[in-house]
């Protein structure tokens, strides 16, 4: 792809801006671990929420959605749209609790909630498992997508594209190690705006090009079923529909199991990872809830439609394209004038850098706070001195560099992005329920979470290497291995929970008094029982799901010029919003 001078100026300006932000917030981030990893716990909800959205907008995301739409139409997005159910659960049942717990990392909660050596072992193990192993896998697949983009964009071989990617990765590492989470969040906000503006411009240009001729013309050129918003359940063989057709078992898995059962980066049941990090970085509990609510709505309603439109257009423009996801990059190459090519490439750089900077900062927080500080070089007192805090920040910066190097190496060992996705999804199958119930049931202990973390690996091996030989192909099509792993894991941790002792009474009482969770905490409730929010929160959860899906479908129908249906979905969104606001005001989740 040929770039003009203006394109290079845009690219260089963006990279320099990212470095400038890193330098600007350097001093504030260097004063303490709380400043480095949580931005001083002072982020407003819109910055924290925007940072969440930007982080989940990686370089591979537009390509992945383009591939889904080009293969199975709009309805194929339900493969990830189903995660909204779990995301809204986090918003109303957990966001304020994360902020109230006042921990530095998700893993620090383990020893706040559980007691004894099992808790310490679990915290140390997860600091390496999540902070390094899982983290570099995520970095590897994001890097791999960026290498593919650079390869096509600049028409260079993979080996050269890899080193271009390394240069961009180093820049992301520099500003994230200098400015900590505050700088990352500020750059995330800028990067998200750039990325979305670029994608919207591309969609508008491609849809209105001579080869497409606008929305109405596009609709007539698409295969039948491409514009269906809902998947076809249990489709018949030989159907000509270009729409997602899934088995009843697979539909049941997506709708009823996956959203609460699976651990997946950015969609952890009960919150976790960089989402929990953003919740804990907000000014107060109210900001934590609003940041997470904004994230869910923006993630599902604002982001996908430009990508979906380009994906639909690629069906018409490149019907013989083997690698469907490349339709997005091909559209950039064929339709953008000078200047806009640089802007779109910056959009990909922004998406890539926002994800990489977060993964580096988040991973370093686990390795430093939950491994190095907890087990290797402990503070002399419970509260670290200024000198100790500066030492830990220095180690955090070095750890950021270390993770970047390992992540770059892992990139060279990964051949398939989808294979990594599947592995991560299934090796966390069944863990989600423990992560939810540890806040609402006092009987959950460290052994429950240990078993729920390890059992999915055993279930994965049994399901994929033994049970597939006993059943026909329908077992795989109905996501049999995944459902088996969830059942195996759930039964395993439940048995262990009742066969082992609960956490120490003093630990549970301290946790309850600090966090004040709803649910089954009767042994630790004294005096008059607090009014439960569970029913009101349940209504908030359901109405927010209805609100978000209604806005998602309203936007889509409006773009496709189907105004009658769009008005119906808009009316549904308004009713859902009124219900949500009514019940949210009547909860006491902000000051419990």
Report d(CA 3, CA 340) in Å as an integer. 10
What percentage of the chain reaches a pLDDT higher than 70? Answer: 94
Give the model's confidence band at 527: pLDDT under 50 very low, under 70 low, under 90 confident, else very high. Answer: low
**Helix axes of 446-462 and 480-499: crossing angle, nearest 10 degrees:** 150
Give the model's confidence band at 482: pLDDT under 50 very low, under 70 low, under 90 confident, else very high. Answer: confident
Query: Whole-prediction pTM value?
Result: 0.90
Q: Which residue has the higher pLDDT, 530 or 84?
A: 84
Would the pLDDT of 418 be above 80?
A: no
- Burial of residue 17 (CB within 10 Å: 0-12, 13-18, 19+) is middle
| Structure tokens given for 397 | 């910066």
DSSP state of 325: G
Report d(CA 364, CA 372) in Å as an integer. 10
Would the pLDDT of 294 be above 90?
A: yes
- Burial of residue 535 (CB within 10 Å: 0-12, 13-18, 19+) is exposed
Give the mean pLDDT of 139-165: 87
* CA atoms within 13 Å, Cβ hemisphere of 426: 21
pLDDT at 109: 96
Give the model's confidence band at 239: pLDDT under 50 very low, under 70 low, under 90 confident, else very high. Answer: very low
Report d(CA 31, CA 75) in Å as an integer. 48
Q: How far is CA 469 from the centre of its chain?
A: 34
Give the model's confidence band at 235: pLDDT under 50 very low, under 70 low, under 90 confident, else very high. Answer: low
Please tell me whether residue 89 adopts helix, strand or coil conformation. helix
Would the pLDDT of 173 be above 60?
A: yes
Kindly state which CATH superfamily the domain 5-226+264-414 is placed in. Answer: Sodium/glucose cotransporter (1.20.1730.10)
| Structure tokens given for 537 | 């929160």
Instruction: Give me the residue spans of the domains in the chain.
Output: 5-226+264-414
pLDDT tens for each residue of 368-408? 999 999 999 887 666 677 888 889 999 999 999 999 999 99
Would the pLDDT of 477 be above 80?
A: no
pLDDT at 388: 85
pLDDT at 213: 94
The C-alpha R_g of the chain, in whole angstroms, comes to: 24
pLDDT at 531: 63
Would the pLDDT of 101 be above 90?
A: yes
pLDDT at 3: 75
Report d(CA 76, CA 65) in Å as an integer. 9
Would the pLDDT of 243 be above 70?
A: no
Give the model's confidence band at 345: pLDDT under 50 very low, under 70 low, under 90 confident, else very high. Answer: confident
Would the pLDDT of 238 be above 50?
A: no
Give the mean pLDDT of 473-498: 88
Would the pLDDT of 529 be above 60?
A: no
pLDDT at 240: 45
Give the model's confidence band at 591: pLDDT under 50 very low, under 70 low, under 90 confident, else very high. Answer: low
Among residues 146, 137, 57, the alpha carbon closest in space to that of 407 is found at: 137
Among residues 29, 7, 77, 70, the alpha carbon closest in space to that of 549 is found at: 77
What percentage of the chain reaches a pLDDT higher than 90? Answer: 51
Give the mean pLDDT of 213-233: 89
Contact 313, 212 (CB under 8 A): yes
For 42-51, 75-84, 439-448, which range has the lowest pLDDT when averaged over its residues? 75-84
Q: How far is CA 269 from the centre of its chain?
A: 11
Please tell me whether residue 270 adopts helix, strand or coil conformation. coil
* Average pLDDT score, the chain: 88
pLDDT at 546: 97
Helices then strands, counting H and E runs in the chain, come out as 30, 2
pLDDT at 419: 62
Report d(CA 440, CA 374) in Å as an integer. 27
Contact 131, 311 (CB under 8 A): no
Give the mean pLDDT of 472-482: 77
Report d(CA 491, CA 231) in Å as an integer. 31
- Burial of residue 238 (CB within 10 Å: 0-12, 13-18, 19+) is exposed
């Amino acid at each position: 792809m040929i770039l003009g001078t203006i394109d290079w100026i845009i690219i260089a300006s963006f990279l320099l801006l990212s470095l400038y932000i890193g330098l600007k917030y350097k001093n504030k981030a260097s004063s303490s671990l709380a400043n480095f990893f949580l931005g001083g716990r002072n982020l407003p909800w819109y910055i924290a929420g925007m940072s969440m959205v930007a982080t989940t907008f990686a370089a591979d995301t537009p390509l992945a959605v383009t591939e889904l739409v080009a293969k199975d139409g709009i309805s194929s997005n339900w493969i990830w749209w189903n995660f909204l159910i779990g995301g809204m659960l986090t918003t109303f049942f957990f966001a304020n609790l994360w902020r109230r717990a006042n921990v530095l990392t998700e893993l620090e909660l383990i020893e706040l909630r559980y007691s004894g050596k099992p808790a310490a072992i679990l915290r140390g193990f997860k600091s390496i498992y999540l902070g390094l192993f899982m983290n570099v896998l995520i970095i590897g697949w994001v890097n791999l997508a960026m290498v593919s983009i650079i390869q096509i964009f600049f028409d260079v071989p993979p080996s050269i594209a890899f080193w271009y990617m390394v240069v961009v990765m180093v820049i992301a590492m520099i500003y994230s190690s200098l400015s900590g989470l505050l700088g990352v969040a500020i750059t995330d906000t800028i990067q998200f705006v750039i990325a979305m503006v670029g994608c919207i411009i591309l969609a508008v240009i491609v849809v209105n090009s001579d080869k497409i001729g606008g929305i109405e013309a596009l609709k007539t050129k698409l295969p039948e079923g491409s514009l269906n918003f809902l998947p076809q359940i249990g489709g018949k063989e030989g159907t000509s529909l270009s729409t997602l057709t899934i088995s009843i078992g697979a539909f049941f898995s997506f709708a009823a199991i996956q959203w609460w059962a699976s651990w997946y980066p950015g969609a952890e049941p009960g919150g976790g990872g960089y989402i929990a990090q953003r919740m804990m970085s907000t000014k107060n509990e109210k900001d934590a809830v609003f940041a997470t609510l904004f994230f869910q709505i923006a993630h599902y309603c604002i982001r996908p439609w430009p990508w979906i439109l380009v994906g639909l257009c690629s069906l018409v423009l490149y019907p013989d394209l083997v690698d469907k996801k490349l339709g997005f990059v091909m559209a950039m190459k064929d339709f953008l004038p000078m200047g806009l090519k640089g802007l779109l490439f910056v959009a990909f750089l922004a998406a890539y850098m926002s994800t990489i900077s977060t993964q580096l900062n988040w991973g370093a927080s686990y390795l430093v706070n939950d491994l190095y500080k907890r087990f290797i070089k402990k503070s002399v007192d419970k509260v670290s001195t200024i000198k100790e805090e500066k030492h830990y920040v220095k180690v955090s910066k070095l750890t950021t560099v270390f993770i970047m190097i390992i992540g770059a190496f892992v990139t060279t060992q990964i051949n398939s992005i989808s294979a990594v996705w599947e592995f991560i999804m299934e090796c966390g199958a069944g863990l989600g329920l423990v992560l939810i119930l540890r806040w609402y049931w006092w009987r959950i202990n460290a052994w429950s979470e240990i078993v729920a973390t390890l059992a999915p690996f055993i279930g994965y091996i049994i399901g994929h290497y033994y049970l597939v030989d006993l059943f026909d192909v329908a077992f795989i099509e109905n996501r049999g291995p995944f459902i088996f792993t969830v059942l195996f894991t759930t039964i395993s941790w439940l048995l262990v929970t009742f066969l082992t002792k609960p956490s120490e009474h003093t630990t549970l009482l301290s946790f309850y008094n600090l966090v004040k969770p709803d649910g089954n905490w009767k042994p630790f409730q004294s005096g008059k029982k607090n009014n439960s929010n569970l029913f009101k929160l349940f209504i908030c959860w359901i109405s927010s799901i209805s609100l978000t899906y209604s806005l998602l479908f309203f936007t889509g129908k409006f773009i496709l010029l189907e105004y009658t249906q769009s008005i119906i979905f808009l009316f549904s969104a308004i009713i859902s919003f009124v219900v949500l606001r009514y019940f949210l005001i009547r909860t006491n989740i902000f000051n419990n």
